[in-house]
Structure 1
Amino acid sequence: MGSPIKIIFNPCENKENKYIAILVNGLEKHGFEVNRLDDFLSSTSHYKSIRLLHLNWFENLDDSSVKSMWTSYFRKLIVLAAIKLGNKKLVWTMHNRLSHEKKSGKLSRALTKKLVAQADAIVIHSAISKNILRSQFPNLKSKIVHIPHPDFIDVYGQMIPERSEKRPSKLKLLFIGAIKPYKNIELLIQIAGRFSEEIHLTIAGNPNSEAYRTELEKLAQGANNITLELKFIPDSELPTYIHQSDVLILPYSQESSLNSGTVILGFSYGRTVICPRIGTIDDLDGGEDVFDYSYENESEHLAALEKQIQSAINLHLEDSNSLTEKGHRMRDLVLEKNNKQVVTDKLIELYQSFLD
């Protein structure tokens, strides 16, 4: 490529998610010089050298206080104005239907509207995102580009080989990931009580606040079939956690959730999932190899989740290896449909269409 093309990929690192590392490493191997958004306006010469900015989760605001929320909003408006003034190319990835942060919802939607209007390309990770965007922004022109979420195969270490022995009769369910209210952890704890003899539920991840940690500990108190590991799970331990489970259970909010890296993570390490039919599930179309469901309200969610847990229990009792076989077929599917090399190549192709 000759001299490196300077771009900004934001965020350019994320300790909780290898999604960023996969894409940034792929871009750097191809010869792009990836810079931080924080340095965008550090000097006139640096500002002029940046040719393209790719923003992820840019519509999310710091809602820890009213002041920080408005400060975050205005800082992002300044960034967008600087991008426009400098005639930089702008790519935005749509990760969610809505911001998960309830307090900043209106400002977040206003920021999303500006992003959609200004972006040269909008990257989506699931086909349904196109319909959502066009329903929200009827005048949106054809700048939507579908690039799948990259797989996580071997990214957190090798998959642990399966043993052929019969698994324990109790179904082992795992929720893993950042512990946030929109992920319906309370619902999981509630439903685990209905299957005290049939399942063991492990909830592993770091809560977003000490208050939320305390709330979950109180809810789970006295439940002998729930293990709470409310802490940051190191990357190196993820394959072990997944291997020790039969199924990942991820009862996300259909109102805001659209794509899920944790779903891709589970499949990448040979485990199927119990999860609402969000965009990630829809695109992979794993059929009976996935325990997906839909719901309209909280009571429907509880009933649908209970039904899929029971289905998983029944299969586990009939043949303790059947769930593992489903997970391995889903691993093959993400390797085909979400191949990280193909995903990176498509992103580079998009950038080059603007920069050549």
Structure 2
Amino acid sequence: MVADPLQHQIKRNIGEVAIGPLLLSSGVTLDNVTLSYEIIGAPSNPTVLVCHALTGNQFAVGTTEEPGWWSGLIGSNQYIDTNQYQLITFNVLGGCHGSTGPNSINPNTGEPYRNDFPDITIRDMVHAQNKALAKLNISTVDIIIGGSLGGMQVMEWGLLYPDFMKKLIILAATPSLSDYGIAFNHIAETVVKHDANWNNGHYDTDSPIIGLEIARMIGMVTYRSPELFSDRFKREQIDQSFSVSSYLDYQGKKLATRFDPNSYLTLLRAMNSHDIGTNRGGWRKASTLLNQPILLLSFDNDLIYTPATIQHFADSLANCTYHHVKNIFGHDGFLTEYEKWGPLIQDFLNT
């Protein structure tokens, strides 16, 4: 663990915790599972567990020099104030930022799992985090919050461990992934697997997987709204290329430099399997089991996790505060314009 003096003297611990073997939903047992984490704030403060989205990691808060992916929402004197709360974020099981995933060594072969890493579910991610928290001597938390893939984890937390937390905050997530979302994930997986360097998932790590770059471009189109693209790019051209094309190229290359293709596909498949109603009599019946106070947010122009579906979900919950956030960012609204919805988070924390 290392202390970071840059977070306004707020204690920051980063590290990893070994949780031993983990029985997956598939019946496969993963041995020697490890989760990487970031903890910021005093242990004496109320604890908030943060669950990250598809290409996120454990660095939700980060540092002054390297802000995390939710630093505009969480931090010193932010809407979730690290002076008042202890924040914990894990890199998910199957991730590629230190937690056990496709890049980890398979103890049975002595080689990285790569494409042989077993399929996992959102429930597997939550069970792993629960074991990790126990190893860290944390038996309860006050709040669990997450958006998109993170929101899926929050739902499962509430169902698998209903006495572990006091409140849940779910952003831009639905009780099951829609066929529309599964369709885009299928396109993304297909382009990755058809990359010339794919080699059935045992690619040379020094050779770029262009398919991952294209998959990211597909994702960026679904995460943002048509209005945002039109407002930002206005059909402008630079060197005979449309600005929007250059933007997508940049985003694709940027992800490919920091994310593992096998991990990307592992997490896509986990998202596809998300359905809180599985083995619980359907999602409506499962919703009746979520009795914690819940704050549920939807965002304008979200193509995959539509506001109508989220509001329908809210109507099925016994103790839910629902808000719809108007913006032009679409699904990525939960990662931007915090001034529009951060106060809703703050109010919910204080009630």
Structure 1 and Structure 2 fold alike (TM over 0.5) = no
When normalised by structure 2's length, the TM-score is: 0.33
* Structure with greater helix share of residues: 1
Q: Using structure 1 for the length normalisation, give the TM-score.
A: 0.33
Query: Which protein has the larger Cα radius of gyration, Structure 1 or Structure 2?
Result: 1
